[in-house]
Chains A and B, each alone.
Chain A
Amino acid sequence: MTQVALPIVDRPAEKKIKLDHTNAARAFVTNPDRAPWHDESLWFVRSKRDKQASIIPEWEYLRSLASQVKTATIANLGDYLVEFERNATDAGAVVHWAADAKEHNRIVLGILRDHETTKIVKSKSMLTEECGLNHFLEDNGIDVVDTDLGERIVQLRHETPSHIVLPAIHLKKEEVGETFHEHLGTEKGAKDPKYLAEAARGHLRDKFLAGEVGITGVNFGIAETGGVVVCTNEGNADLGASLPRVHIACMGIEKLVPRLHDLGIFTRLLGRSATGQPITAYTSHFHGPRDENSELHIVLVDNGRSKLRQSDEFRAAMHCIRCGACMNTCPVYRRSGGHSYQATVPGPIGSVLSPTRDLKEHKSLPYACSLCGSCTDVCPVKIPLHHQLLAWRKEIGFMNLLSYDKRISMKAASILFRSAKLFSFAGWVGRKALKVLPHWVTHQRFNTWTIARELPKPPKESFRSWYAKNRNSETPKG
């Protein structure tokens, strides 16, 4: 009997008109409970990170070294990828190449179908999020279980992760209790983290035992050995990769480091930057399949990375090791929550990466930033994040993607600032207006500044006017 090839369901990606960040953030940031609580939770993680970084005397040296290794790797990425493929293949792994998300998803589905499996356990991988793998597999009849606790919570709630390291950080324990009550049958109103974690552990244990294929992401690929390294705190990737006979590791091509020797630089930085731990609880190395009955598939994914590599301005964003430190430190992210970025990767690095995929769609993200520069200083691989966000703004201006009001107001400002006379006159009018107009005219909702703030009290004269009266340039004050 000839086998009939199963059709592949490949939904076109839904193109939704995105809100700008300001509007998408409003409900979260104006919620008097949620924003301060979210801010505090992430600040706690950042404080732990500061403590860990401060006890490593060579912290800044490590950051420089990591940045240099990444720069060199990305400069010679083609050679390292070939070396990686050769060594991984020699170790018995099967290496696949995917140009984009669609190809990645089809490769994974192909492997699953080859093994006639419908049950997979998946550990956290932002790459598979980026590729929309879960939806694709579910559309094709595969039962996908995310095994990272936070990921499982958001999966049960049909949400996306709001943070790349702490996927459910936007949820309170009461909300997790409700979700578990609905899906896992825990007691109603339960909010004890230990009780809930135990319930999730029991639930996931069954899934692990039933899983026929394990999918993991990859934190680091090592060109010299062809090995892949997966870092988790829950050990779920180890169970997921070791219980089933088949392990599929999905890896962005920028995850390479040249030598095993280089790995220590990054593992020292990763755990400390991400969660303030000296190291992640599990740092697991996979060199080929574990025995002759097992398989290790490595899917190398480009999906826009080569294009990013071409850009002198934004190439350093490929250094990213997905630690999430820039999110934890970002005062905007902390108050607006990850979902306000409407992208797989939120926060400062997400605001740099998302526009590389679709500038028009994500054009508000480079403006969701006060340019405080904290992200740049916290980044363990020295991506000049706030300078890149500024560079995106220039690109947006250059591509004429700015809103009409911004374009006009900046053009007007430019004209104003080209003449000291015009500038002084406008200032005089502004100060007079503030003095004579009633408060409700100068402080209304069309003046965004005054929704929450008072305007400065107008002084009786400008400095230049005072200077003209009090300092005579011909008789400089000695």
Chain B
Amino acid sequence: MAVALFIPCYLDQFYPNVAIATLELLESLGLDVVFPTDQTCCGQPMANTGCNNDCAPVARRFVEIFSPYETIVCPSGSCTSMVRNHYDDYFEKGDEKFQHVKNRTFDLCEFLYDELKIKELKSDGKPVRFPHKVSLHQSCHGLRELRLSSCSENMTKRENKVRGLLDLVEGIEWCTLSRVDECCGFGGTFAVNEPDVSASMGRDRIADHVASGSEVMVSADMSCLMHLQGLIRREKTPIQVMHVAEILAGRPLPS
């Protein structure tokens, strides 16, 4: 299967290792992966600020770039949700290119779990191991817009796809949070518009992870982790962050 990588703008520029891990993980599963180099951003910052006119050309450009590909995979629930759930404003209902992109854009975890249905993970022929205490930060858009797992408000039981994949990794010792799916306070431009509330939410989130005994918090969205890591590094909190792709690709805990 041929797959186009959709790498969120901030990952491309600041977290290339997460993008490389995503690429190598997909390649290790035998996929033919390409990175369309014309891509930039899905337009979410503009859309979430209410600047639809500024978002529209970016969204249309995105669809032009990705419509030739059969499947589009993105290591971010939030950016995936933007394309799937919020692009309708910018396209005519019958736009076939758009409908194709909307229907065929997947978050990395749902792609591995639902489409490929992977049952084992190997890196260089050996089972992937991550012998550490890990806590899962469930990003809100993955959770409540893509339904990657059950959320605590909603009584519909769903499989936890991120956890399901990480359970294929050997050696993980799970740490349980007191608030399993509380928002970290990133929220895109919210982090800048409401800095006090955002930082307060982030500190509380980190405190919950630390109190669980976790060494590393893992998430399917690097944007939440970028905000949390910023707070962790400022306050020198003893915990690390990793994107789920890094662990699935067999990367060690950063030293």
Please name all residues of chain A whose beta carbon is closer than 8 Å to the beta carbon of B41 when the two chains form the complex. 413, 417, 423
For window 33-65 of B, CB contacts with A under 8 Å fall at 33-35, 37-41, 43, 45-55, 57-58, 61
Interface string of A95-127 (1 = CB under 8 A from B): 000000000000000000000000000000000
Query: Is A430's beta carbon under 8 Å from chain B?
Result: yes
Decide yes or no: A406 and B46 within 8 Å by CB, A459-B17, A463-B12, A463-B19 being known contacts: no
Query: Is A451's beta carbon under 8 Å from chain B?
Result: yes
Please name all residues of chain B whose beta carbon is closer than 8 Å to the beta carbon of A393 when the two chains form the complex. 48-50
Query: Is B238's beta carbon under 8 Å from chain A?
Result: no
Query: Is B185's beta carbon under 8 Å from chain A?
Result: yes
Is the CB–CB distance between B144 and A467 below 8 Å? no
Chain B: which residue is nearest A30 at the CB level? B196
Chain-A contact segment, one of B96-104, B128-136, B148-156:
B148-156
Please name all residues of chain B whose beta carbon is closer than 8 Å to the beta carbon of A367 when the two chains form the complex. 190, 193-194
Interface string of B171-183 (1 = CB under 8 A from A): 0000000010011
For window 32-87 of A, CB contacts with B under 8 Å fall at 35-36, 39, 43, 50, 53-54, 56, 59-60
Is the CB–CB distance between B194 and A25 below 8 Å? yes
- Cβ-neighbour of A407 out of B17, B51, B204 (below 8 A): B51
A418 and B62 alpha carbons, distance in the complex (Å): 9
Please name all residues of chain B whose beta carbon is closer than 8 Å to the beta carbon of A413 when the two chains form the complex. 41, 45-46, 54
Please name all residues of chain A whose beta carbon is closer than 8 Å to the beta carbon of B185 when the two chains form the complex. 331, 370
Is the CB–CB distance between B198 and A370 below 8 Å? yes
A390 and B85 alpha carbons, distance in the complex (Å): 12
Query: Is B167's beta carbon under 8 Å from chain A?
Result: no
Q: How near does chain B come to A221, taking the closest CB pair, in angstroms? A: 28
Of the listed residues A35, A417, A449, A451, the one surrounded by the most CB atoms of chain B closer than 10 A to its CB is A417
Interface size on B, residues (CB 8 A): 79
Is the CB–CB distance between A414 and B58 below 8 Å? yes
Q: How near does chain B come to A92, taking the closest CB pair, in angstroms? A: 42
A397 and B233 alpha carbons, distance in the complex (Å): 35
Is the CB–CB distance between A427 and B12 below 8 Å? yes
Of the listed residues A367, A372, A455, the one surrounded by the most CB atoms of chain B closer than 10 A to its CB is A372
A25 and B193 alpha carbons, distance in the complex (Å): 12
- Cβ-neighbour of B230 out of A402, A410, A417, A453 (below 8 A): A453
Chain B: which residue is nearest A376 at the CB level? B144
Please name all residues of chain A whose beta carbon is closer than 8 Å to the beta carbon of B52 when the two chains form the complex. 394, 397-398
Query: Is B187's beta carbon under 8 Å from chain A?
Result: yes
- Cβ-neighbour of A29 out of B34, B35, B196 (below 8 A): B196
Query: Is B25's beta carbon under 8 Å from chain A?
Result: no
Query: Is A194's beta carbon under 8 Å from chain B?
Result: no
Query: Is B112's beta carbon under 8 Å from chain A?
Result: no
Query: Is A396's beta carbon under 8 Å from chain B?
Result: yes
Is the CB–CB distance between B140 and A374 below 8 Å? yes
Chain-B contact segment, one of A163-171, A241-249, A468-476:
A468-476
A323 and B112 alpha carbons, distance in the complex (Å): 40
Q: How near does chain B come to A22, taking the closest CB pair, in angstroms? A: 5
- Cβ-neighbour of A464 out of B37, B53, B58, B226 (below 8 A): B37
Is the CB–CB distance between A449 and B12 below 8 Å? no
Q: Which 6 A-B pairs have the closest CB atoms?
A: A453-B230, A370-B187, A397-B50, A393-B50, A414-B54, A372-B183
Q: Which residues of B contact A (CB under 8 A)?
A: 7, 9, 11-17, 19-20, 23, 27, 32-35, 37-41, 43, 45-55, 57-58, 61, 86, 89, 140-141, 143-145, 151-156, 179, 182-183, 185-202, 204, 226-227, 229-231, 233-234
Q: List 23 A-B contacts (CB under 8 A).
A: A60-B156, A331-B182, A371-B190, A372-B187, A373-B143, A390-B47, A390-B48, A392-B50, A394-B52, A406-B49, A413-B46, A414-B46, A414-B55, A430-B13, A431-B14, A452-B231, A453-B227, A454-B234, A459-B16, A463-B7, A463-B20, A466-B20, A471-B23
